[in-house]
Amino acid sequence: MNNVPPVQSGQQPFKKVLIANRGEIALRVLRALQQLDIASVAIYHHSDRHSPVVQQADEAIEIVGDSPAAAHLDGQQIIKICQRLGVEAVHPCYGFLSENAEFARTLEQAGITFIGPEADIIELMGDKITSRDFVARHGFPVPPSVNLEPDHPDFLRNIVDMGFPVVVKASAGGGGKGMSIVHSQDELQDALRIAASEAEKYFGDRRVYVEKYFTSARHIEVQVLGDGHRVVHLGERECSIQRRFQKVIEEAPSPALTSAKRQEICDTAKGIAQSAGYNSAGTVEFLYTSEGSYFFLEMNTRIQVEHPVTEMTFNVDLVAEQIHIAAGRPLSLNQETLSSSGHSIECRICAEDAFNDFMPATGKVLFLKEPCGQAVRFDSGLYLNQAITSAFDPMLAKLIVHAPTRQQAIEAMRQALQELVILGVKHNIDYLDTVLRHQQFIEGHFDTGFIKQYDHELTPLQPDKQQQQAILATALLSERSNRLLAEATPDLHAAIGHWRN
């Protein structure tokens, strides 16, 4: 991992911190801890025992569970490790326990700091229904919605009055789970049943609500930092390139916003966080319509997958800031002195089969060549011979670039994607390049429906066997050691001299 902004020097905020996660984000947090001279503890499931974070952390402890994910979700087991090793604070990263108010509260009761907002704030903003009500009460815009129970006499009438299409969402949801778009009244009952079932399965909470669906809207989110008294924003991120409600490419700043609209949205995000007394790194997400209106969607009370594009444009280490705030220190940043420069793009590298409806792929990492460059950042926990299984999210790594202009950032990303080689598991690198080459993307003319709308143009053709062999040979020869070995290998007939059978 390179090109992460430098952290501020100063008094050590904690002596020892446990990283309650895995993969690229665990390494990202480890890097911040090392910069701050804080001792680190990594936890890992047996299947991850060879991962880089396990090798590089000061201490590493194996966790157990019915499955790898279950082990990482076992808060009590993690707290016992903290107590045994004298850990002062836990960084949850994203996913797993990062937005679990009960985990944060239990840590606090055990005298261990949760590196994130207070449990009450997680509870308030983590629930989609209560957070929308909170935001609306403070005078900020929320999209039209129906929050009534499905058997309420006004439920259907209110939805019909709101107008189709609508989107059914899980109140405790995220990542597209428990969400579906409904175009007519006939589809509604099935969509509600499926959404409630998924919500129960993934979040243990069957509550769903129905929101107006805007067909040509963009997904804009604003990064905030708060210390419980003061909040600053660090601009917005454009996250409209999504597939099945999952972000694929993110960038900062958004090509859709004017300076005036940017200021308006960022001030709104700041106001929402300020109203909640927010005290950590967080993200306020908005729906931005083609008419220029915007509505609050949700607030994520954790570090985001896409935080590097903000770090690249603002030159701020968000994880380090988050750690300082958790230690009770006041914000070191002032809105007046914060400024961004240039343009940054992030691509999510996922193990998935673009030729088979993007089904998650499995395999083993047989060859890895990372891109490099002054403004290229590769956040990854990958290593050779790593087994890629279906036990975790299919995201393998994140590739981030920064350049003076958006056009230059697109070109830099395409170059970096071409340099990145991962063999042994199917991935979406070619697909990402196809998106970046699409004229509508280049011109910034897209919304959250982009991938579905241009699906027939974006899905690459299956390479034939000869092309696959050429790609494999090129990848292997891109390594200097392999190239030198090939050049040093004598011709077969020359090697055996004049003898012929």
> What amino acid positions are annotated as catalytic residues?
302
Residue 17 · residue 38 · CB < 8 Å:
yes
Cα–Cα distance for residue pair 93/30, rounded to 1 Å: 10
> How many angstroms from the chain centroid is the CA of residue 135?
24
Residue 272 · residue 138 · CB < 8 Å:
yes
Cα–Cα distance for residue pair 185/168, rounded to 1 Å: 12
Q: Long-range contacts made by residues 380-387, C-beta under 8 angstroms, separation at least 24?
A: 380/1, 380/24, 380/27, 380/349, 381/22, 381/23, 381/24, 381/26, 381/27, 381/51, 381/52, 381/53, 382/422, 383/50, 383/51, 383/52, 385/50, 386/50, 386/51, 387/47, 387/362, 387/363
Cα–Cα distance for residue pair 392/424, rounded to 1 Å: 17
Beta-bridge mates of residue 343: 403
Kind of pairing, strands 376-380 and 363-364?
unpaired
Cα–Cα distance for residue pair 31/305, rounded to 1 Å: 16
Which tokens in the block code for residue 335?
A: 């809105």
**What kind and span of H or E run contains 44?**
strand 39-44
Residue 62 · residue 46 · CB < 8 Å:
yes
